[in-house]
Every structure is written in structure tokens, then in C-alpha cells.
């Protein structure tokens, strides 16, 4: 078990490119990893193998001490066109046609089918390292599930978003409906967008609070995301990762529960050399170097 884990870590410590199930992982700069959806001919549409791979990548990077921040982007004409409508539902179609299973047993199989994309995106949220997503062009259906599980969302001017699921006959079940109101805090617009599936552009996404900045094009969006990721990676990893964990906890709990949680968290995490290093660097206006964690 231990050697497998180390094997995964070693794989990511390498600066070489990793390309698995149409997702490419590179070390863009020291401590910054770039995860690229790389299935441009299909507009980065998801199949179950991609969700499984995304989960593995997130967990590996979360455990990798040489990774301190992550950027996700999409290769080609679209950021992500949602689930692959030709291949993504193959297992479900086979299940519908299977007369040998009763409804309850089919339900159990469907539950596991839905859990794969849920786990793929939840792994982004649970990853200790902050994830910045750089969106361009189409961000549809599963694309919105993905970005709402990330920490910071940047977009190119040409970005077009759609919570598309009602148009393909389903209630979005792999993250968007669970997270988007916590991300944007606007119930009426959320319901309008989720119930009509209409497209909305980058300007509207900015007003709505789904994204935090707009850039002229894909290249400048990715460059800005990598720059932001490098700025985060230069800070204390103890402080940054503790901040992500506690922001997630605070989002899902009461103020009292969250204060109690960070008390317990900082009972160990305040015992860090990073505190003194950061304070001294601030006073001397010099850059601090932090040990891996
Ligand atoms: C348990 C369930 C888990 C997750 C559920 C998620 C739900 C969703 O994701 S709902 C959203 C599903 N996606 C869509 O409805 C988008 C479908 N695609 C489009 O609307 C358009 O293709 C476009 C993204 C707006 C781009 O349009 P355009 O620029 O005109 O290009 P096209 O010629 O239409 O497409 C180019 C090429 O890409 C293929 N493609 C695009 N989207 C998908 C897709 N979702 N699945 C499979 N393939 C896709 C398209 O077929 C074209 O392929 P060619 O071989 O070149 O014909």
C-alpha cells in the first residue's frame, strides 16, 4: 500500500508530462501543476474513465509535497462540453435494456454509475491544494459541475456557460446543484439558469459571482491562472492548505462549529516554523522559503 502511494507521488515529482485517459498533467513551474483536459476532438466531453482519472490525479496531487497549487484548463475549442453524449451513457443504456435485473438491482448499479463522476469532482474539492480553473468557450453541464468544485474560477471573454442537464432529461446530480448556491449565493438566478438551461456569457457569470475575473482570451486566462497559482505556491503551504480546508468546512457548517473546528486545527498547525518565517519575511520585505509538507 505504502509503496503504491510513493509510486504515485514519485510519478508526479517528475517534471515530465503525464497523459492518462485524455487528461495531461505537467509541472508548470516549481510547486505549480497544470491539469489539462485533453480530448479536443470531443470538446473535452467526459466518459467514466476520465472521472476516475481526475479523481486519481486530484488525490495524488493532494498527497504530493512538491505540489502547492493547481491550474485546470481545457485544450482545444471548448473548455468542456459536458458528459460525452455518445459514449458517456453507454452503461446506462445497457442497463435499460437488461431484462434480467429488477428495478432495485438496476438502481444499485445506477447509484455506482453516478458515484464515479461525483467522486471525480469531489476529489477536487477535497484536494488540499487550491485549484484555479481557467475556462474558455463552452463550459456545459459536467463542465459546471467541475468548476464549482474548484476554488477560484477565471474565464476568457468568449466563455459560454450552461447548466444544461434539464435539456438532456436529468437533474444535475454530480455537483452543480449541491454546490452552486454556496458558490454564488443567488437563489433566483441559480434557479433560472438551472431550470431553463439557457446560455450565459462571461459578463453575466461575473455579475452572478460564478467567476472572479475575465481575460481577453484563452491564453491570457491560462497565463493569469498559472501566475496566481505561482503566487499562492510561494506562500506557506501550512497556511494555504489550512485556509482551503477551513473555508470548505466553514461553508458547510455553522459559525460556532467552524470556530471550534479551526481551534482544533490550529492546535497543531500553529506549531509551525512557517509562522516565524512569514513574519520575518514580511518585516524584512524578503521572500520566505518554506519546507515541503
Ligand atoms: C451521471 C451523469 C453524469 C454527468 C452528467 C452530466 C450532464 C451534462 O453534461 S449535460 C450537457 C451535455 N452536453 C451538451 O449538451 C453539449 C453538446 N454539444 C454541443 O452543444 C456542441 O457540440 C457545442 C459544445 C456547443 C459545440 O458546438 P460546435 O462548435 O457547433 O461544434 P460541434 O460540431 O457541435 O461539435 C464538435 C465535435 O465535438 C463533438 N461533441 C461536442 N459535444 C459533445 C458531447 N457532449 N459529447 C460527445 N461529443 C461531443 C461533436 O459531436 C463534434 O464531433 P464531430 O466528430 O466533429 O462531429
CATH number of residue 117's parent domain: 3.90.226.10
- Give the CATH number for residue 255: 1.10.12.10
For residues 214 and 253, state if they share a domain.
no
For residues 166 and 253, state if they share a domain.
no
Give the largest CA-CA distance in the chain. 73
For residues 278 and 229, state if they share a domain.
no
Q: Which pLDDT does position 6 carry in this prediction?
A: 30
Q: Which atom of ligand 1 is nearest to the CA of 138?
A: 24
For residues 189 and 227, state if they share a domain.
yes
- In three-state secondary structure terms, 72 is strand
Cell numbers at residue 187, please? 437563489
Whether 270 shows a pLDDT value over 70: the answer reads yes
Q: How far apart are CA 70 and CA 189, in angstroms?
A: 29
Residue 141 near ligand 1, beta carbon < 6 Å? yes
Note whether 81 and 143 are within 8 A (CB).
yes
Q: 13-65 pLDDT, tens per residue?
A: 344 566 667 999 999 999 999 999 999 999 999 999 999 999 999 999 999 99
Is the complex ipTM higher than 0.95? yes
Alpha carbon of 14 to ligand 1 centroid (Å): 34
Alpha carbon of 23 to ligand 1 centroid (Å): 18
Residue 83 near ligand 1, beta carbon < 6 Å? yes
Among 233, 249, 267, the domain-final residue is: 233
Kindly give the pairing relationship between strand 138-140 and strand 23-29: unpaired
Q: Which pLDDT does position 17 carry in this prediction?
A: 61
Burial (Cβ within 10 Å: 0-12, 13-18, ≥19) of residue 170? middle
For residues 140 and 273, state if they share a domain.
no
Structural domain includes residue 154: yes
Which residue's CA is minimally distant from atom 51 of ligand 1? 42
Q: Which pLDDT does position 1 carry in this prediction?
A: 29
Residue 45 near ligand 1, beta carbon < 6 Å? yes
Which letter does DSSP use for residue 171 in this model?
A: -
Which residues does 106 contact at the CB level (< 8 Å), separation at least 6?
A: 95, 98
Kindly give the pairing relationship between strand 23-29 and strand 18-20: antiparallel
Mutate to test the pocket of ligand 1, among 48, 85, 160, 198 (most ligand atoms within 8 A of CB): 85
- In three-state secondary structure terms, 132 is strand
Note whether 274 and 290 are within 8 A (CB).
yes
Number of domains in the chain: 2
For residues 129 and 216, state if they share a domain.
yes
Structural domain includes residue 291: no
Residue 175 near ligand 1, beta carbon < 6 Å? no
Whole-model pTM: value is 0.94
For residues 148 and 258, state if they share a domain.
no
Range of the domain at 38: 4-233
Residue 164 near ligand 1, beta carbon < 6 Å? yes
For residues 144 and 255, state if they share a domain.
no
Amino acid at each position: 500500500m505504502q509503496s503504491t502511494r510513493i509510486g504515485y507521488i514519485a510519478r508526479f515529482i517528475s517534471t515530465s508530462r503525464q497523459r492518462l485517459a485524455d487528461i495531461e498533467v505537467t509541472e508548470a513551474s516549481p510547486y505549480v501543476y497544470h491539469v489539462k483536459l485533453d480530448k479536443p476532438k470531443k470538446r473535452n466531453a467526459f466518459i467514466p474513465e476520465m472521472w476516475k482519472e481526475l479523481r486519481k490525479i486530484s488525490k495524488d496531487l493532494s498527497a504530493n509535497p512538491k505540489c502547492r497549487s493547481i491550474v485546470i484548463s481545457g485544450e482545444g475549442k471548448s473548455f468542456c462540453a459536458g458528459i460525452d453524449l455518445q459514449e458517456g451513457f453507454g452503461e446506462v443504456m445497457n442497463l435499460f435494456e437488461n431484462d434480467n435485473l429488477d428495478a432495485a438491482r438496476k438502481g444499485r448499479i445506477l447509484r455506482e454509475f453516478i458515484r464515479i463522476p461525483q467522486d471525480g469532482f469531489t476529489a477536487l474539492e477535497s484536494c488540499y491544494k487550491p485549484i484555479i480553473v481557467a475556462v474558455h468557450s463552452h463550459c456545459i453541464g459536467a463542465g459546471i459541475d467541475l468548476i464549482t468544485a474548484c476554488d477560484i474560477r477565471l474565464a476568457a471573454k468568449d466563455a459560454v456557460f450552461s447548466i444544461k442537464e434539464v435539456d438532456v432529461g436529468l437533474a444535475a446530480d454530480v455537483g452543480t446543484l449541491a454546490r452552486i448556491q454556496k458558490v454564488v449565493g443567488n437563489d433566483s438566478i441559480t434557479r433560472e439558469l438551472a431550470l431553463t438551461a439557457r446560455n450565459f456569457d462571461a459578463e453575466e457569470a461575473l455579475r452572478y459571482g460564478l467567476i472572479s475575473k475575465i481575460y481577453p482570451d484563452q491564453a491570457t486566462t491560462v497565463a493569469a491562472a498559472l501566475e496566481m497559482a505561482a503566487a499562492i505556491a510561494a506562500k506557506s503551504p501550512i497556511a494555504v492548505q489550512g485556509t482551503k480546508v477551513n473555508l470548505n468546512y466553514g461553508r458547510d457548517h455553522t459559525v460556532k462549529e467552524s470556530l471550534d473546528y479551526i481551534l482544533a486545527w490550529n492546535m497543531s498547525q500553529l506549531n509551525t516554523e512557517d509562522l516565524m518565517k512569514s513574519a520575518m519575511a514580511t518585516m524584512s520585505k524578503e521572500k520566505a522559503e518554506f519546507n515541503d509538507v
